[in-house]
Amino acid sequence: MPNARTARLTRRGLLAAGGALGLGAVLTACGDDDAKDAGADTKGAAKSGPWSFKDDRGTTVKLDEAPKNIVAFTGVAAALYDYGIEAKGVFGPTTTKDGKADVQAGDMDVSKVTVLGNVWDQFNVEKYAALAPDVLISTMFDDAGTLWYVPEASKEKIAKLAPSVGISVFDRQLTGPLQRMWELAESLGADMTAAKVTEAKKRFEAASERLRKAAKAKPEIKVLVGSASPELFYVSGTNLSIDLEYFKALGVNFVEPTEEAKKATGGWFESLSWENVDKHKADVIMMDDRSSAIQPADITEATWKQLPAVKAGQVIARSTEPILSYDKCVAPVEALAEAIEKAKKVS
């Protein structure tokens, strides 16, 4: 994954850069009323007979049977894993430099999947072909149907080897993609009545209600969403991010970059020098938890350490690319609710 300085100035490049990337948008304020109660234990049993799924590009993939050899973007594979569906191969941030599971890999045993590429623009087409894939699944961060982490240079070769499914995480709230991943897992044979997942959905809804109440009780608390690189500090806007749009719909008071500042990044974020990191006043700071971003404990800039929210210890992690299972989306909602509940007004 390129850093903010070297990333191409495209939406894909900017998003992959590890900056304060808002990723997606929201659907409803506290769970989707149209969503079915769902669940899956540990292993999904593929349904017999023909399989089809209409993705968020409007493309319907049809196969003689439910796909068994699934290759997916790491975060998608992690979500499906929570529903009992295991991918054979993955691409995207999967392992850290020390060989441990990346945050985007969730609960997957990364030693049991074939990693086709661990960084931006890396995808081993030969290994992909050897897996005899039935389907490739990824998310999409634009309205053009661009599959996340599928390299531009090899996308045509990749497309010839298996059909693809795209789940949009652009310009909608978190509950929308959550429901779509649910539907995809169900189509692949996941047990959507298992206690593990039905309970996770209930916990997500309870966490959302807690956040709504916290935001309503303390509307004066301003939340800034940031991401750090060696050269720059990024401040996310909320309009394109599935998690932030959802939190905003629940009443969270976010700091917003100016529209002029966001223009250079297609509306996603504002870039600040470390000298100007105090431009926006905030009481709570949410920081990008991806391995591509510098984590708060490793930031040495004096200007960062002098921020009121930092001095007050009011900094929490943000799942910038949420794993789209209810189980994995509980913790980020609860963490923000607790941060606002405990926050002191320091801005």
Tokens found for residue 298:
């490793």
Q: Measured between alpha carbons, how far is 1 from 121 in angstroms, rounded to an integer?
A: 7
pLDDT of amino acid 49: 87
pLDDT of residue 85: 98
β-strand partners of 203: none
pLDDT at 83 over 80: yes
Cβ 236 vs Cβ 22: under 8 Å: yes
What distance in Å separates the CA atoms of residue 16 and residue 18, rounded to the nearest whole number?
A: 6
- Residue 301 structure tokens: 């800039």
**d(C-alpha 329, C-alpha 270), whole Å:** 26
The H-or-E segment that residue 211 falls in is: helix 195-217
Q: What residue type is assigned to position 331 of the chain?
A: A
Dump pLDDT digits (tens) for 184-238.
999 999 999 999 999 999 999 999 999 999 999 999 999 999 999 999 999 999 9
Residue of 146, 292, 150 whose CA lies nearest to 227? 292
Q: pLDDT of 212-224, one tens digit each? A: 999 999 999 999 9
3-state helix, strand, coil split of the chain in percent (to 5) is: 35, 20, 50
Distance CA 247, CA 254 (A): 9
Backbone φ and ψ for 82, nearest 5 degrees, come out as -65, -20
Average pLDDT of the residues in 60-82: 98
- The dihedrals phi and psi of 29, each to the nearest 5 degrees, come to -80, -20
Rounded to two decimals, the pTM is 0.88
CB count, 10 Å around CB of 125? 15
Query: In angstroms, rounded to a whole number, what is the distance separating the alpha carbons of residues 144 and 10?
Result: 13
pLDDT for the residue 265: 84
Please work out, in degrees rounded to the nearest 5, the angle formed at the alpha carbon of residue 270 by the alpha carbons of 289 and 152. Answer: 70
